[in-house]
Amino acid sequence: MTSIIPSSGSHARGVDRTDATSPIVFDRARHSDTSLIELYRTLLLPRMIEEKMLLLLRQGRISKWFSGIGQEAIAVGSTVALRDSDYIFPLHRNLGVFTARGMPLPKLFSQWQGKTTGYTNARDRSFHFGAPEHNVIGMISHLGAMLGVADGVALASNLDRLESIAVVYSGDGGTSQGDFHEAVNVAAVWKLPVIFLIENNGYGLSTPSCDQFSCAYLAERAGGYGIEGITIDGNNILEVHDTIATVAAKMRVDRMPVIVEAMTFRMRGHEEASGVAYVPPAAFDPWRAKDPVVTFEKYLRELGLINDGIVAFVREQHAHAIETAVDAMLSAPDPTVVARGVSGNGAIAGADSSASNSADNSADVRSGGDG
């Protein structure tokens, strides 16, 4: 874990970042054998889900996917480090947040397909949803917009004299939004327990980080708000976990916000249709060598904690759960009534406005509906 001080360099900007070639050094001091193996299981699941979704995308069985492959250590490591009572504000590449919080895969998969069995009752087919029962607060398309909402949740925690904190994710591109400044500034002035977790993956859409900011690290901005800023290796799951655990423990007492910048790289396009033609091919090579799943598995093998048999067993368990959830997703009913919950009588242009349908929709609206 590295606390950041002002620097005039630009070594973390662009595609030729020095952090790309720095080796991953795992420190297991805070982890038992059992916790390391469980962390591996938790880290592997979102990777296997993503690989399945990319296969379904190529087969034309799903239509869109935002990939977080190569960034799983950030979502998983940070989530596992928190208490269940802490609130998390994930983004579209943070699948590991949802799986680490134990959200049921059939319902999660159905959400992505816009099925009625998903979290939004077919109102959305992406990561634009939350799960209050898991203290996961949903995102919207406008990146940065949820930063201020995290402040509000943290303020409520303070007013209720609770120990819970909020962790809100942002990409490097999201920090270029005015929302980031406003949220961090208010959190600092009001002493709100928020971890602003920046996933610096080198690109905002197709814009490299060198065209977004001039400081060497985004965590350096923390000094301007009078708070602590920390930069970590986002591909090192133990470093992510231990940093967030340490910051969270301190924050439960002093209630001061912290900026944590996790250095990583976006290994696929902004979304799959956009591709990666704008990224120099050589930029990927050092990051492939720092794959968070591969490097952690290799480390556990070297410790003698896992072997081919254990890895195969874990993969078989995950594969079965994934296939079961995919079957449930593909067989779940599509929405049949687009007007439900939209208006008082359920009738909108182009919708089925039959008397029976209208009556059903009106009843839904009066009772709060299911949308």
Q: Are 193 and 251 in contact (CB under 8 A)?
A: yes
Strands 258-263 and 228-233: parallel
**DSSP string for 128-157:** ---BGGGTBPPP-SSTTHHHHHHHHHHHHH
Which pLDDT score is estimated for 270?
64
CA–CA separation, 275 and 161 (whole Å): 47
CATH topology of domain 2-335: Rossmann fold (3.40.50)
Contact residues for 311 (Cβ-Cβ < 8 A; gap 6+): 297
Expressed in angstroms, the distance from the first to the final Cα of the chain is: 44
Which pLDDT score is estimated for 255?
98
Distances (CA, A) of 296 to 18, 233, 235, 237, 361: 21, 13, 9, 8, 51
Residue 166 phi, psi (nearest 5): -120, 140
CA–CA separation, 164 and 193 (whole Å): 8
Indicate the residue type of 251. Answer: M
Q: Are 216 and 8 in contact (CB under 8 A)?
A: yes
Residue 260 phi, psi (nearest 5): -115, 120
Which pLDDT score is estimated for 165?
99
Q: In which element (H, E) is residue 287 found?
A: helix 285-288
Q: How many CB atoms lie within 10 A of CB 284?
A: 18
Which pLDDT score is estimated for 75?
97
Contact residues for 367 (Cβ-Cβ < 8 A; gap 6+): none
Which pLDDT score is estimated for 173?
87
Q: What is the pLDDT along the chain (371 residues), one digit of tens a residue?
A: 444 433 333 344 444 455 677 889 999 999 999 999 999 999 999 999 999 988 988 888 877 767 788 999 999 999 999 999 999 999 888 899 999 999 999 999 988 888 888 888 877 777 777 889 999 998 887 888 999 999 999 999 999 999 999 999 999 888 999 999 999 999 999 999 999 999 998 877 777 777 888 888 999 999 999 999 999 999 999 999 999 999 999 999 999 999 999 999 876 656 656 666 677 787 778 888 999 999 999 999 999 999 999 999 999 999 999 999 999 989 988 887 666 666 665 544 444 444 444 444 333 333 333 33
Domain boundaries, given as residue ranges, for the chain: 2-335, 344-371
Contact residues for 116 (Cβ-Cβ < 8 A; gap 6+): 110, 122, 332, 333, 334, 335
SS3 state of residue 79: helix
Q: Which of 284, 287, 309, 311 is nearest to 299 (CA)?
A: 311
Beta bridge partners of 159: none
Q: Which of 100, 368, 127, 162 is nearest to 154 (CA)?
A: 162
> E-strand spans in 173-328?
194-200, 203-204, 207-208, 228-233, 258-263
